[in-house]
């Protein structure tokens, strides 16, 4: 706990504060420990990545933050309140692994979907849709249907939809996992510029080491069975950075530390 | 272009042409040849020969298709024209004529099927022409077989007799159509599908209904129409409301079951998305689950469109005022007026297909986004 977190005032509380959190799924094969004793604090405006192999609970942890799963132990607050209250206050913009655009809605109306639910006026909706489409370089595709767009464009539309909510937290679950390397690099740079411009808190799940190191101010390394945090690495790269930094010694040093953390998590399996 | 599949028909037709040239039309009169039937006989042989040559030489040609259409239907017209004088004693030459005409029609349909699909009106005409030719030849062969073999009228009347009956009984057919279709079917269909849809939403919301009502629903949907129709007559009287009630009973459960299935068709990821927006039950229902359920709802609407007509007709077998398609069928059968029964069947088939077609068009408009319709 930092000093500002204990003050109790909502505006000064950390974006996410997790202490001793655990989650047990009751499956037909008996209980499965998905998360075990997680401690994590994310400050406002940070870009945090969860990295780890499949089954390490990184997606589950993100879902707990978004109030899509209920923890079975420990405590979690988001902006000083429970995840449920934060969800009802519409603090989240969630980007899923798949774009999850509704095929019966045009791109513009897909982005307007959360705005309709929030009860915004038509004029407000149209403005936010136009702004956010421009932000992800999709201006001109308003009237297309999702299935008429490439996978990368669909995922950009889903990011625009999450941003249109103007959430305090942007939660992204391997949003670029299904895309090729070149599109992925491009979207990583775009995402970084968006984060810089909007000053949002971003929590980003990935299993790509370069992606995590390039994007993050903080990398949370996780390991499976049971899902737990093995290392938390701070990255001090400037907010304005290009893909070139991936060649620098500092970048490679952090990447090596992430890799070592992942390997340590894996070793007991062999 | 190198594939020759499906183009054996012109060659067989060539053999048939030679046979119909040389063999007698009438088994009782060996001297009766097609070419002795006057200039029409010669003209037909000439057109058939030209069509066969064109079909063998050219592929995807408008001239070949036109010649094939002319020869096939000229041959059919000739055969049907000869029918009255040949009933019961048709010769091998006549069968050669029928067979050759039919082969040419087959070659024509094969030819048309191979044409590239075109957008707009020409494409639409072509896509309707092929099934139309199919149906037409079904009627032509039906007419010829029934007349030549002198099939008893009560077993199967020839299409020409049915057509004549339709033309002479239009007011009766129209009154029956109004009574059965426009009153019983339309009202029953609307109430049955509408209530099935609304109850499905209720069942989906209230879990004890889902566990309690759905199994009972399956039981009720297995009830035979013949069993409930007399009971509905006792409840709702002789006129169309009792028929509409039978239609309601038979359309309610297909709609209920399909809609309940459709409401759970949305992906977990889509529902999670709605949850992150703190969407209410009704918002999720209208913005996600109902659109996702539409393909299932339309499935039920299509099933019910034909089911409703069958139910209304069968229900009329159990007491009606003296009008209605089912009433007409059951009484005219008793009076051996089989052509009238077939006339009602033709009207029912036409009405049922048109109804189904309208629902299918609405489905295309409402679920254009579904992978099975995307363009």
Beta strands in A91-211 (DSSP E): 92-95, 169-173, 201-206
Asked if residue B129 lies in contact with residue B112, where contact means CB atoms within 8 angstroms, the answer is yes
Which of A87, A97, A102 lies nearest to residue B291, judging by beta carbons? Answer: A102
The size of the A-B interface in CB pairs under 8 A is 55
A182-224: per-residue pLDDT in tens? Answer: 878 888 888 888 888 888 899 999 988 888 888 888 989 888 8
Is there a contact between A113 and B275 if contact means CB atoms under 8 Å apart?
no
CB within 8 Å of chain A, chain B residues 250-269: 267, 269
Note whether B287 contacts A147, CB cutoff 8 Å.
no
The CA distances from residue B334 to A116, A224, B338, B340, B341, in Å, are 63, 79, 9, 11, 10
Q: What is the ipTM of this complex?
A: 0.86
The crossing angle, in degrees rounded to 10, of helices B186-205 and B240-263 is: 30
Alpha-carbon gap, residue B171 to B97, rounded angstroms:
39
Any idea where the domains of chain A sit in the sequence?
Answer: 4-91+169-267, 102-166
* Digitized pLDDT (tens) for each residue of chain A, 270 residues in all: 333 434 444 457 888 888 888 888 888 888 888 888 888 888 888 899 999 888 788 888 999 999 998 888 888 988 888 889 888 988 888 999 888 999 999 999 999 999 999 998 999 999 999 988 988 888 899 899 999 998 888 988 998 999 898 888 999 998 888 778 887 888 888 888 888 888 889 999 998 888 888 888 898 988 887 888 888 888 878 777 778 888 888 888 888 888 888 887 665 544
φ and ψ at residue B96, rounded to 5 degrees:
-60, -40
- What lies within 8 Å, CB to CB, of B243 at 6+ separation is B180, B183, B184, B188, B232, B311, B312, B315, B316, B320, B324, B326
Residue A255, SS3 per DSSP: helix
> How far apart are the two ends of chain B, measured CA to CA in Å?
27
What pLDDT shows up at residue B139? 92
pLDDT tens digits along B169-224: 999 999 999 999 999 999 999 999 999 999 999 998 888 888 888 888 778 777 77
Q: Which CATH class is domain A4-91+169-267?
A: alpha beta
| Res B88 pLDDT > 90 | no
Cα–Cα separations (whole angstroms), residue B188 to A19, A64, A165? 61, 49, 46
Chosen from B265, B271, B273 to mutate, greatest number of chain A CBs within 10 A? B273
Comparing CB atoms, the residue among B275, B279, B288 nearest residue A102 is B288
Distance CA A233, CA A242 (A): 20
Domain ranges of chain B: 9-151, 166-366
Direct distance between the N- and C-terminal alpha carbons of chain A, in angstroms, rounded to an integer: 36
What residues of chain A lie within 8 A of the CB of B278, using their CB? 87-90, 117
Give the tokens for residue B216.
Answer: 């009972």
Inform me whether the C-beta atom of residue B273 falls under 8 Å from chain A C-beta atoms: yes
pTM: 0.81
Could you name the CATH architecture of B166-366?
Orthogonal Bundle (1.10)
Which chain B residue shows the shortest CA-CA distance from A167?
B277
């Amino acid at each position: 706990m930092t000093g500002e977190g204990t003050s109790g005032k909502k505006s000064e509380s950390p974006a996410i504060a997790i202490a001793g959190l655990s989650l047990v799924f009751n499956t037909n094969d008996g209980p499965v420990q998905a998360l075990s004793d997680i401690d994590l604090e994310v400050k406002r405006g940070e870009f945090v990545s969860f990295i780890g192999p499949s089954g390490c609970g990184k997606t589950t942890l993100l879902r707990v933050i978004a109030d899509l799963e209920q923890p079975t132990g420990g405590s979690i607050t988001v902006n000083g309140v429970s995840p449920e209250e934060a969800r009802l206050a519409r603090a989240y913009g969630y980007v899923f692994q798949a774009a999850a655009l509704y095929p019966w809605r045009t791109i513009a109306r897909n982005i307007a979907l959360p705005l309709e639910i929030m009860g915004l006026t038509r004029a407000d909706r149209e403005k936010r849709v136009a702004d956010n489409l421009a932000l992800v370089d999709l201006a001109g595709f308003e009237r297309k249907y999702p299935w008429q767009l490439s996978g990368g464009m669909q995922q950009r539309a889903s990011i625009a939809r999450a941003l249109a909510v103007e959430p305090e937290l942007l939660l992204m679950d391997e949003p670029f996992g299904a895309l090729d390397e070149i599109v992925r690099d491009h979207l990583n740079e775009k995402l970084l510029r968006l984060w810089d411009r909007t000053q949002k808190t971003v929590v980003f799940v990935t299993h790509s080491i370069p992606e995590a190191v390039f994007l993050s101010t903080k990398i949370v390394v996780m390991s499976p069975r049971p899902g737990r945090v093995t290392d938390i690495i701070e990255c001090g790269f400037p907010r304005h950075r290009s893909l070139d930094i991936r060649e620098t010694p500092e970048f490679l040093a952090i990447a090596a530390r992430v890799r070592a953390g992942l390997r340590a998590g894996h070793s007991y399996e062999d | 272009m190198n594939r020759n599949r499906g183009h054996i028909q012109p060659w067989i037709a060539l053999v048939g042409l030679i046979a119909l040239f040389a063999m007698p039309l009438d088994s009782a009169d060996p001297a009766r040849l097609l070419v002795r039937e006057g200039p029409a006989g010669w003209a037909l042989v000439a057109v058939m020969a030209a069509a066969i040559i064109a079909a063998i030489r050219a592929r995807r040609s408008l001239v070949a298709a036109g010649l094939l259409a002319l020869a096939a239907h000229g041959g059919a017209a000739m055969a049907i024209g000869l029918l009255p004088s040949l009933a019961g004693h048709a010769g091998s030459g006549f069968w050669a004529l029928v067979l050759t005409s039919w082969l040419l029609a087959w070659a024509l349909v094969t030819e048309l099927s191979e044409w590239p699909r075109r957008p707009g009106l020409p494409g639409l005409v072509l896509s309707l022409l092929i099934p139309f030719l199919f149906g037409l030849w079904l009627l032509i062969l039906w007419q010829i077989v029934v007349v030549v073999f002198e099939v008893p009228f009560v077993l199967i009347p020839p299409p020409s007799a049915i057509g004549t009956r339709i033309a002479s009984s239009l007011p009766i057919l129209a009154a029956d159509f109004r009574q059965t279709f426009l009153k019983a079917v339309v009202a029953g269909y609307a109430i049955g599908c509408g209530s099935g849809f609304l109850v499905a939403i209720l069942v989906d919301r209230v879990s004890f209904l889902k566990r309690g009502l759905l199994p009972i629903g399956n039981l009720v949907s297995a009830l035979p129409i013949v069993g409930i129709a007399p009971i509905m007559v006792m409840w709702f009287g002789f006129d169309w409301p009792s028929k509409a009630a039978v239609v309601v009973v038979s359309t309610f459960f297909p709609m209920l079951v399909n809609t309940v299935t459709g409401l759970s068709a949305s992906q977990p990821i889509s529902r999670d998305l709605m949850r992150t927006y703190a969407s209410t039950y009704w918002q999720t229902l209208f913005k996600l689950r109902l659109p996702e359920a539409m393909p299932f709802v339309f499935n039920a609407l299509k099933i019910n469109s034909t089911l409703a007509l069958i139910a209304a007709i069968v229900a009329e077998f159990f007491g009606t005022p003296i009008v209605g398609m089912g009433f007409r069928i059951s009484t005219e059968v008793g009076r051996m007026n089989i052509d009238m029964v077939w006339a009602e069947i033709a009207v029912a088939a036409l009405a049922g297909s048109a109804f189904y077609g309208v629902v299918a068009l609405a489905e295309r408009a409402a679920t254009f986004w579904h992978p099975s319709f995307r363009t």
